[in-house]
Chain A
Amino acid sequence: MLLAVLSGFILCALAPWLTRSFGERAGWLLALLPAALFVYFLTWVPAIADGESVIITYPWIPGLDVNLSFLVDGLSLLFALLISGIGTFIIIYAGGYLHGHEYLPRFYAIMFAFMASMLGLVVSDNIITLFVFWELTSITSYMLIGFNHEDKNARWYALQGLIVTVAGGLALLAGLVMLAVAAGGEYTLSGILAAEDMHAAPFFTGMLLAILFGTFTKSAQVPFHFWLPNAMAAPTPVSAFLHSATMVKAGVYLMARLNPAMAESDLWFYMLGIFGALTMLTGSVMALRSTGVKAILAYTTIMALGTLTMLIGIGTEGAIIAAMTFLLAHALYKAALFMLAGALDHETGTKDVTKMGGLRHVMPITFIAACVAALSLAGLPPLFGFIAKELMFEATLGARGGMAVFTATLAVLSAIMIVAMAAVFALRPFTGARKETPKTPHEAPPSMLAGPVVLAGLSLIFGLAGFIPAMAIVQPAVAAVFGAELSVELYLWHGINAPLMMSILAVILGLVLFWKWDTVLDGFKRLTFIDRFGAERGYERFMDAIVWVAEWQTRILQNGYMSNYLLVIVLTIVGLTGWTLLGHTDTPMPLALADVNLYEAVVAALVVAGAVFASVTRSRLGAVATLGIVGFGIALIYVLFSAPDLGTTQIMVETLTVILLVLVLFRLPEFINYSSAGTRVRDAAVALSLGGLMTLLILAVNDATVAEPISDTLVAWSEPEGHGRNIVNVILVDFRALDTLGEIFVIGLAAIGVYAMIRFRAEDKAQ
């Protein structure tokens, strides 16, 4: 299992090399891996169909108790089969679609990385590894949407998709951690699902909302749906694979996965039910007003994702059966349709359905496959999509708590529009008179037809013989989501009942809508408010607001004046530390002046005098010299209190300071006092407040012992453990070597920063 998940990452590294070596045929060769994975997952089917679920654990970070544990049950197997099966055809298809593309090797590399991440996501048992894979899919998706990176729009939309899904990912991480805490520190899905009393956790609502924020953004639910159509900037194989069949279903997967633990919650029911239904309707309406082949499919994908969410929310036995059937049906027909859309675009050079026509003679196989897949999309018999839609209608009627009317109405409305758009997709480009297109169309190459034909064929076979998918995969998947064993039977004919009536109504009205589609399109064109007030505007406003806040706080806190920086830092220290100190007024602060020796007092007086003179003098050289007195005085104090290391370091630092000052002093402008008297009084007050605070603090900590001082232990260990008598050095290079490493990195970075500033300035002047 570990190999199955990781093999994609391995091939990701090899793919560029293989693509270059095998050129033309690389797609067919590379497709062997997902095909092998598909066969591997198929071998699991008999065991899983018997109701087994298997957990395989590999230690990963034993110190943190993070295991690479994989859970294979009906749900993960369904997804794994879809990912590897559809992935096989996508890899072959990409070889034809991106034939001769300069970046094809890179494309395959990212594609395999994605495939491995997605597989990892659906088979992970540990929720931390699940999260890691989840984020990996977001990142690979970002790279694939922005694949045509010379296109400004592609870059912008890639970033948009990334920001939306990763923002959700952050919330999801918080939600998953809360979930684990609510389950009593259980970080495995199997453990969480077995945990009891989760709903009693005080943060249950927050946890639920955090998780749903993650799944809704990933699965493009309203109001986060806008990134998905924009993600169509990616090459079509990516849209077919990531943005319809797999990645966007990660959210659905997680909701389905957690359903047994959450289904009791009313919040879960209403959130999923309402947002799912609204997403379903939004997707349908937006599909109706689109003319691009990929845009139509993207919005119908949003419709499907909404439907799935709604069905999981409804959560009855029938709804879960409908959800899993719909999931399978959608993956089959939507991947096929996307690949056909890519073929149309590839052959004609346009994406606009209104600009295509009469292609049935030149692209007959494409036409037939499109008809079959579109019939499944529209939910007509004898396709598998029909079974899924009938079940869906039935499930919406069974929703509890007064939701049935709402969900059923929205389901019929969206079904009408989907029928119309399926007809648009399958008939518009192929029938009627031939239209002039930018490229002269031919039938697509075999590599681009293999996927659509097989997948559309499966839609037909599964429709006619519903018992095959029912027993092999839908039933175990439903058992996993529903959390109980039950038997699933899928038939085309359910008798004359309400769902059938809803279907007939949807088909008739849908065909009317198709007939009047051009009029409808004109009508939509006048409704420009959708673009002005859509969710995407909200996203843009939000991003603008972040930039505005960043600029504002930079202006306030980091305005480039040294004095301002110091002021902020000092006031923060005084405020926070002073506040804490105020809470401990009972701390004794003994001023044992009797113990002070005369020479100590003299040195201290010298330091104070130097500091005062340095801050009032108008001579730079004088200030440097008196600061030197302060520094050497402090070195002397270190020596007096037997800290020779500190003393030596202080002396060396003072010496270097003088050297540096010599280098910069004569380059500074003339000494002019710009600050007003008021500013100087303010600065003096701030400086004195810090001095006073530090004095109080030292007096307080001198006497207050909170815990056994660590220094005793370190002194005792220095010789036997650290093999050294200089405790300071032993601490620096042995006991706390990691801290020192961090510090020398800081020193190094600071030095490079200073170096860069000096050099760039010199170069600027030189120009």
Chain B
Amino acid sequence: MTGMDSLILRTATRFMMPLLLLFSLFVLLRGHDEPGGGFIAGLVAAVAFSLYAFAFDTRGARDIMWMEPRMMLGAGLFIATLSGIPAIFQGRAFFAAIWWPVEVPVLGEIKLSTPLVFDIGVYMVVIGSVMAIVLALAEAED
């Protein structure tokens, strides 16, 4: 699909895209303590990519996604499933959480954990699912 060919929309999208994507990452990472999380963050990112597809074209949207949506969906499922496995090697139940708090200068403490990995998987599944449908619909019009 070629976009709407509107200068205002295109210019606005150029500014909005990085902000929206950064915002989605922000929502993803802070999700454990504040409102947010992989699901919402994934929806935000999907909206951002859709906006780009409308303003420019679907090919461009695919290019900036750096991954085929269906591929991202599968990778997300894979990562999410994988995150449950390390606990088994500690002799605990599948999906028992493991935490590695890391002290980073400037940013303060960052909580690395298997739930975070899981949330990243959810994030990718949501983006992949929504974009697979949106792009397929957009491209099927002719």
Contact = CB atoms under 8 A, between A and B. Distances in A.
A748 B125 contact: yes
B9 to A, nearest CB: 13
A650 to B, nearest CB: 10
A745 B46 contact: no
A733 B134 contact: no
Contacts, number: 142
Nearest to B51: A659
Interface string A704-739: 000000000000000000111110111011100110
Given A726-B31, A758-B136, A653 B43 contact: yes
Contacts of A740: 80, 118, 122
Interface stretch (A328-336, A523-531, A641-649): A641-649
A592 interface: no
A551 B141 CA distance: 34
Given A645-B37, A663-B137, A729-B36, A745 B50 contact: no
B65 interface: no
Contact of B132 (A660, A726, A728, A755): A755
Contact of B129 (A644, A737, A741, A748): A748
A645 B81 contact: no
Contact of B137 (A664, A722, A725, A745): A664
A433 interface: no
Contacts of A759: 136, 140
Nearest to A719: B33
A652 interface: yes
Nearest to B122: A744
B99 A645 contact: no
Interface string A588-601: 00000000000000
- Mostly helix, strand, loop or mixed at chain A's interface? helix
Contacts of A47: none
A759 to B, nearest CB: 6
Q: How large is the interface on B (under 10, 10 to 19, 20 to 34, 35 or more residues)?
A: 35 or more
B83 to A, nearest CB: 8
Given A652-B47, A726-B37, A758-B140, A734 B97 contact: yes
A2 interface: no
A649 B77 contact: no
A659 B80 CA distance: 28
Contacts of B50: 656, 659
B128 A748 contact: yes
Contacts of A39: none
Nearest to B111: A723
A759 B133 CA distance: 10
A750 interface: yes
Nearest to B27: A648
Contacts of B134: 656, 659-660, 663
A101 interface: no
B101 to A, nearest CB: 8
A724 B125 CA distance: 22
Given A732-B39, A741-B84, A747-B125, A723 B47 contact: no
A587 interface: no
A729 B31 contact: yes
A723 B31 CA distance: 12
Nearest to A644: B35
Contacts of B32: 722-726, 729-730, 733
A722 B37 CA distance: 14
Interface string A744-767: 110110111011001101100000
A653 B95 CA distance: 28
Nearest to A745: B77
A404 to B, nearest CB: 61
Interface in B87-142: 94-95, 97, 99, 111, 113, 115-116, 118-119, 121-122, 125-126, 128-130, 132-134, 136-141
Contacts of A653: 43
A131 to B, nearest CB: 25
Contacts of A762: 139-140
A667 interface: yes
A741 B121 CA distance: 9
Given A741-B81, A744-B76, A726 B95 contact: no
Contacts of A660: 133-134, 137
A732 B38 CA distance: 10
Nearest to B84: A737
A702 interface: no
A667 B115 CA distance: 42
Interface of A: 644-645, 648-649, 652-653, 655-656, 659-660, 663-664, 667, 722-726, 728-730, 732-734, 737-738, 740-741, 744-745, 747-748, 750-752, 754-755, 758-759, 761-762
Given A726-B33, A755-B132, 6 more contacts: A656-B46, A656-B47, A723-B99, A726-B35, A738-B84, A741-B80
19 contacts: A645-B35, A645-B36, A648-B36, A648-B40, A649-B43, A652-B47, A663-B141, A726-B32, A726-B34, A728-B35, A729-B119, A737-B84, A737-B97, A738-B94, A741-B81, A751-B133, A752-B132, A754-B133, A762-B140
Interface of B: 31-40, 43-44, 46-47, 50, 54, 70, 73-74, 76-77, 80-81, 83-84, 94-95, 97, 99, 111, 113, 115-116, 118-119, 121-122, 125-126, 128-130, 132-134, 136-141
